[in-house]
């Protein structure tokens, strides 16, 4: 499992910048960031080094931040890479809460999934999916 | 078990007749002996002789706390000094103190009122009552003390303070009933637990009689659970008498007013029209037997409603509901009266929501807009938008059903809502006055 840093932000000008600045000033390097936004708030999901420390830093600075375990799967950079993964989840009855993807170099992409239940990662690995270990993404 | 069964279970028509007779006497006492009432009645063109039914009371003018302040110290007294047995005074932290006088008969009636509450919690002359209200100008200590003596209890006048000794007395002297403020009852319970006791099982105490400050239902339940007791809510105010104006029986669901001594009305705090039983509004009290300081239509600023349904305890005196707040706190939103305490009550039912909140009122366009800003507790899973949206809609629905007003919920970041050491600023009213 990957420890994803999650931050709850008001959907107001400058809030995302302020949160990023707080992390930057403390020397946290981010590897990915996605933002789920609604009319009045946003949920920011970040892969960064030392996520537990980053969460504590943000909480101390007055943010609502937490670490969320998610699953990252490396898929080939070709049509159907993500579709095959999601179809497997669907057929296996694994409920995906949310997901997002980012490309890594020329030949691959990382698909990040939040799946209900505790055994999803094992089942994906058993089915031959390339589950990514935390140390491949960030320094713990 | 009743203290004065013939009065407490008096048939309602007899009780109303008694109230009318006493109300006339009380009005005459006020009119003939207190210049303020004579001036007000004359100005309104009414006299005590105009009171032919209880409903006629609505024709008479109100008095408010400021009238009592202005009359400081003895301007509202209807008796000469030789007949005054004791005076009490309110703290005066919000202005000039108000002084209230009591004749010997007033004090005896007060003791009876409080003693009825002692009976409501199963007390008798065999009981030991520990009075941990402060003694002094404040009416709590001596009011509860008078009740204990009227009932014939053993009274332990510990007053407030020295909490460990309170616990020791409670244990060693086998206190059955504790009378104090709710916050002090909780402190005593917690102190006893810290001292290594389990008061719920190890102490004989079976009841607390608590009042003089607001307490949420959660707090009352916590006190009842920690001490293993029946919780009796007592209502009173020093201008009217002190604790004992109304007391809660074991059936709960409201607080029985001593209707042979006090007549209650509920009025709309804006229009001052009398509201029917069951509707929420400002409690207005007329004293029926007070000799030294009779009050006709005193506006308490407390918000409650009258519950007229018969009570299973057998008492015929109507109840008032647990206080919802003060009229000073009332908001009028789209014509509906809303109290911050109602919103607070709903919030406490949501463990996902932290206790801080802020209400922002605005009126862009013709309608008032209400936004409630709340924070989630740190444990709440902020990761899932669905859960946050679900929380918002559940909270919104619950508020809508409680307040009859649509409230927009905004979940905000921690510390968006200003913390304050004293009374937090809960309401921000940005509405422009409509003409």
pLDDT at residue A57, as a whole number? 96
Chain A partners within 8 Å of B415 (Cβ): 62
Cβ–Cβ contact A15 with B under 8 A: yes
Same domain, B304 and B404: no
**In order of start, what are the domains of chain A with their CATH numbers?**
2-69 (3.30.2130.10), 70-137 (3.30.70.260)
Structural contact between residues B163 and B191, judged by C-beta atoms closer than 8 angstroms: yes
Classify residue B16: in a domain, yes or no: no
CA-to-CA distance for B254 and A41, rounded, in angstroms?
42
Q: Do A10 and B416 touch (CB under 8 A)?
A: yes
Give the residue-averaged pLDDT of B396-416: 90
Q: Which residues of A touch B369 (CB under 8 A)?
A: none
DSSP state of B380: S
CA-closest candidate to residue B228, choices B166, B184, B178, B194 = B178
ipTM value > 0.90: no
Measure the N-to-C terminal CA separation of chain B; round to a whole number of Å. 57
Q: Is residue B264 part of a domain?
A: yes
Q: Does B418 touch chain A (CB under 8 A)?
A: no
Computed over every residue of chain B, the mean pLDDT equals 92
Closest by Cβ to B376, choosing from A10, A45, A64: A64
Instruction: Tell whether B252 and B370 lie within a shared domain.
Output: no
The answer to whether residue B244 is domain-embedded is: yes
Q: Which among B378, B385, B414 has CB closest to A43? A: B385
Q: Which helix (H) or strand (E) covers residue A91, if one does? A: helix A81-91
Residue A78 makes CB contacts below 8 A (sequence gap 6+) with none
pLDDT of residue B12: 97
Region B234-252 average pLDDT? 96
pLDDT band at B280 (very low <50, low <70, confident <90, very high): very high
User: What pLDDT is recorded for position B422?
Assistant: 45
Of all residues in chain B, what percent carry a pLDDT higher than 90? 78
pLDDT band at B270 (very low <50, low <70, confident <90, very high): confident
CATH number of the CATH domain containing B375: 3.30.300.30
The pLDDT of residue B435 is 43
Report the alpha-carbon distance of residue B149 to residue B142 in Å, rounded. 10
pLDDT surpassing 90 at residue B330 = no
User: In terms of domains, do B343 and B312 share one?
Assistant: no
Query: Would you say residue B243 has pLDDT above 60?
Result: yes
If asked whether residues B322 and B363 sit together in one domain, one would say no
B156 φ, ψ (degrees, to nearest 5): -105, 105
Picking from B275, B294, B327, the residue at the C-terminal end of a domain is B327
Could you tell me which of B95, B90, B94 has the C-alpha nearest to residue B137? B90
CA nearest neighbour of B237 among B297, B150, B298: B298
CA-nearest residue to B408 within chain A is A40
Residue B182 in any domain: the answer is yes
Residue B337 has pLDDT above 70, yes or no: yes
B351 and B246, same structural domain? Answer: no
Interface test with chain B among A13, A40, A97, by most B beta carbons within 10 Å: A40
Per the model's pLDDT, the better-predicted residue between B428 and B36 turns out to be B36
Domain span holding position B421: 331-429
Residue of A nearest to B386 (CA): A97
Query: In terms of pLDDT, which residue wins out, B332 or B71?
Result: B71
Domain boundary among the residues B299, B327, B355 is at B327
Q: Same structural domain for residues B281 and B382?
A: no
Q: Is residue B278 part of a domain?
A: yes
**Mind telling me how many Å the CA of B403 is from chain A's nearest CA?**
23
pLDDT of residue B421: 46
Claim to verify: residue B128 and residue B276 sit in the same structural domain: yes
CB B232 within 8 A of CB B244: no
Q: Residue B97's pLDDT is what?
A: 83
Q: Is the pLDDT of residue B404 over 90?
A: no
For A127, the token pair is 């089915």
For residue B423, the model assigns a pLDDT of: 46
| Structural domains in chain B (count) | 2
Domain end residue (candidates: B261, B296, B327): B327
Claim to verify: residue B319 and residue B228 sit in the same structural domain: yes
With CB atoms and an 8 Å threshold, state whether B382 touches A40. Answer: no
Out of A63, A68, A98, closest to residue B413 by CB: A63
| Cβ-Cβ contacts under 8 Å for B210 (sequence gap 6 or more) | B179, B180, B181, B182, B185, B220, B223, B231, B232, B233, B234
């Amino acid at each position: 499992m990957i420890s994803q840093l999650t931050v709850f932000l008001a959907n107001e000008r400058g809030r995302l910048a302020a949160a990023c600045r707080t992390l930057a000033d403390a020397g946290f390097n981010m590897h990915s960031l996605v933002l789920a936004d609604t009319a009045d708030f946003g949920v920011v999901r970040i892969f960064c080094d030392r996520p537990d420390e980053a969460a504590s830093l943000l909480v101390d600075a007055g943010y609502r931040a937490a670490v969320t375990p998610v699953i990252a799967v490396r898929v080939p950079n070709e049509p159907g890479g993500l579709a095959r993964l999601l179809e497997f989840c669907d057929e296996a009855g694994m409920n995906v809460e949310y997901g997002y993807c980012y490309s890594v170099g020329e030949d691959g992409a990382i698909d990040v999934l939040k799946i209900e239940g505790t055994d999803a990662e094992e089942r994906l690995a058993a089915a031959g999916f390339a589950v990514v270990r935390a140390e491949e993404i960030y320094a713990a | 078990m009743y203290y004065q069964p013939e009065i407490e279970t008096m048939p309602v028509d007899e009780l109303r007749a008694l109230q009318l007779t006493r109300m006339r006497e009380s009005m005459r006492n006020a009119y003939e002996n207190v210049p303020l009432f004579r001036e007000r009645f004359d100005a309104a063109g009414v006299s005590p002789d105009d009171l032919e039914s209880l409903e006629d009371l609505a024709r008479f003018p109100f008095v408010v706390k400021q009238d009592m302040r202005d009359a400081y110290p003895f301007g509202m007294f209807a008796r000469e000094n030789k007949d005054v047995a004791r005076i009490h005074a309110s703290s005066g932290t919000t202005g000039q103190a108000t002084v209230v006088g009591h004749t010997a008969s007033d004090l005896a009636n007060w003791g009876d009122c409080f003693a009825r509450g002692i009976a409501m919690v199963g007390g008798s002359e065999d009981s030991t009552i520990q009075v941990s209200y402060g003694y002094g100008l404040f009416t709590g200590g001596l009011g509860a003390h008078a009740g204990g003596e009227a009932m014939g209890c053993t009274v332990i006048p510990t007053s407030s303070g020295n909490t460990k000794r309170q616990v020791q007395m409670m244990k060693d002297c086998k206190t059955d009933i504790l009378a104090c403020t709710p916050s002090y009852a909780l402190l005593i319970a917690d102190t006893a637990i810290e001292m290594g006791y389990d008061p719920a099982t190890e102490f004989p105490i079976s009841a607390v009689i608590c009042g003089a400050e607001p307490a949420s239902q959660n707090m009352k339940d916590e006190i009842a659970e920690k001490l293993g007791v029946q919780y009796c809510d007592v209502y009173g105010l020093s201008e009217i008498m002190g604790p004992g104006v109304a007391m809660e029986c074991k059936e709960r669901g409201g607080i029985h007013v001593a209707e042979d001594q006090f007549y209650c009305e509920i009025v709309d705090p804006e229009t001052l029209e009398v509201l029917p039983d069951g509707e929420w509004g400002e409690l207005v009290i007329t004293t029926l037997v007070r000799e030294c300081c009779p009050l006709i239509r005193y506006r308490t600023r407390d918000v409650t409603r009258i519950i007229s349904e018969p009570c299973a305890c057998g008492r015929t005196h109507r109840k008032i509901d647990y206080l919802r707040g003060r009229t000073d706190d009332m908001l009028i939103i789209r014509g509906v009266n809303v109290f911050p305490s109602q919103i607070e009550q709903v919030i406490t039912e949501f463990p996902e929501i932290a206790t801080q909140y802020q209400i922002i009122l605005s009126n862009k366009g013709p309608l008032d807009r209400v936004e409630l800003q709340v924070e989630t507790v740190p444990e709440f899973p902020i990761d899932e938008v669905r859960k946050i949206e679900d929380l918002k809609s559940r909270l919104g629905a619950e508020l809508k059903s409680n307040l009859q007003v649509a409230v927009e919920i905004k979940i905000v970041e921690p510390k968006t809502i200003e913390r304050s050491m004293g009374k937090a600023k809960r309401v921000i009213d940005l509405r422009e006055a409509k003409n």
